[in-house]
Each structure stands twice: as structure tokens, then as C-alpha cells.
Chain A
Amino acid sequence: DAGVTQSPTHLIKTRGQQVTLRCSPKSGHDTVSWYQQALGQGPQFIFQYYEEEERQRGNFPDRFSGHQFPNYSSELNVNALLLGDSALYLCASTRGGSDTQYFGPGTRLTVL
């Protein structure tokens, strides 16, 4: 049983560019949450998707958007990248009826 997977592993972009990160949840999981983890900090909640809709959102600007597909996989899009967007982006999936969030390995985004 594959765990949560994310792609790409690493990404380098320049200011102003746009980026798309991808996440595949664990088998049987239908809810996907995205978190941003700056170096030396705890993860911060960006948003959560269920049934292809954004269910909850954290304190992130509209430059951060997402999508969930019918197969429950998800994308995180960030527009107009800023230096401060450099971080590890983590995806977590949850099975219906459970609170346990299983994290993927993350995508390390560097903005130059």
C-alpha cells in the first residue's frame, strides 16, 4: 500500500513565476490538506480539499490556490512567487471518519 506521494521533490523558481505541486493520497483516503513548513518552523495549514471542493482555508493569500481531482489527487498552485514562499510544502491525506493525517515527503520549493 503506497503512502502519500508528492512531486516534484525539489523545485527552483524565480520571483514572479508560477508553480504547481502535486499530491497523491494514500489508497482509500478522500481528503487532502496542504501545509507550508518554513525552515525551523512547524507546518502551517494552507487549505483542505474534499469532494473536489475547498473545504477549509488558512491565512494564505489568493495567490495560493488548489484543486482536487475525481481520483482524490490534488494540486497546489502558487502564483506571483515571492522569496518568502520558499519552504517545504507538505500534503496530508485523511480517510473519511478518521482524524489521522498522513503526510507526504514534501516538495522543497526555493524561490530566487
Chain B
Amino acid sequence: GENVEQHPSTLSVQEGDSAVIKCTYSDSASNYFPWYKQELGKRPQLIIDIRSNVGEKKDQRIAVTLNKTAKHFSLHITETQPEDSAVYFCAASRGNTGFQKLVFGTGTRLL
């Protein structure tokens, strides 16, 4: 079955620096790759997602890149701020639109 590996498990950055979190997936048929942010005691919230037919997507300070050949995707956060501190999860899925079965990584704690 699908497996998603996520690194690093913890990432400490200075305010204003950039942060990069990397994920690798095993199922080459995966077609949807969302990133969720989970603050302590709260629900996961989608921050950005990308489909397999797109190589890069940006939303203000957040960007995601996808390399289908290498089967990895990355989250980039620029100009980090204290409110960016949280656990970030990547996920991969191979479902039909509207019926995604998300397989999550183990999370990265951003400090």
C-alpha cells in the first residue's frame, strides 16, 4: 500500500528565515498531495494542495513543489513568523476527485 515518509521530524528556524519540509511517497499512481497544519489541540487545517499535473503552486508565503519522477514533494515557507509554529503533515492520495483516501506522513514540528 501507499507509504509516505516525511522529514525532518523537528525543524527549528529563526523568525524571518525559510523552512522546507520534504515528503516521499511510494505509490506512483498518487495524484493529490495536500499539506495540513495542526496546532496543539486543534484540528488539521489545509494550507495548500497540489495535483499531479502541476509541478509547483504558491500562495503568499507558502509554496509546494512536486517531482513525480522522484516521487517527492516539498513545502516551502518563507519569512517564517511565530504563528507558523505548529505540526505540519503531508499526505498523498490516488483516489478519484472527491473520494481521496489520504495517507499522511508522520509530521514535522516547526519551531
A42-B89, A44-B104, A45-B101 known; A105+B95 contact, CB < 8 A:
no
- B interface residues, how many (CB within 8 angstroms): 28
Q: Can you list the 3 inter-chain pairs with the closest CB atoms, starting with the nearest?
A: A42-B104, A103-B43, A103-B44
Q: Are B98 and A31 in contact (CB under 8 A)?
A: yes
Q: Is the interface of A mostly helix, strand, loop or mixed?
A: loop
Sample of 5 further A-B pairs with CB below 8 A, known A45-B101, A96-B98, A101-B102: A41-B106, A90-B44, A95-B98, A101-B34, A103-B43
Bound Cα distance A106, B44 (Å): 10
A interface residues, Cβ below 8 angstroms from B: 4, 31, 33, 35, 40-45, 48, 50, 55-56, 58-59, 90, 94-106
Which residues of chain A come closer than 8 Å to B101, judged between CB atoms?
Answer: 33, 45, 48, 56, 58
Instruction: State the B residues within 8 Å of A (CB).
Output: 1, 4, 6, 32, 34, 36, 42-46, 49, 51, 89, 91, 93, 95, 97-107
**Please, which residues of chain A bring their CB within 8 A of the CB of B34?**
99-101
**Shortest beta-carbon distance from A12 to chain B in Å:** 17
The residues of A that contact B89 with a CB separation of less than 8 Å are 42-43
The answer to whether B49 and A100 have CB atoms under 8 Å apart is: yes
With a cutoff of 8 Å between Cβ atoms, the chain A residues found around residue B36 in the complex are 103
Measured CB to CB, the closest approach of chain B to A106, in angstroms, equals 6
| Nearest CB of chain B from residue A60's CB, rounded to whole Å | 12
Q: In the complex, are the beta carbons of B106 and A42 less than 8 A apart?
A: yes
Given known pairs A41-B107, A42-B106, A43-B104, the reply for A101 and B46 (CB within 8 Å) is: yes
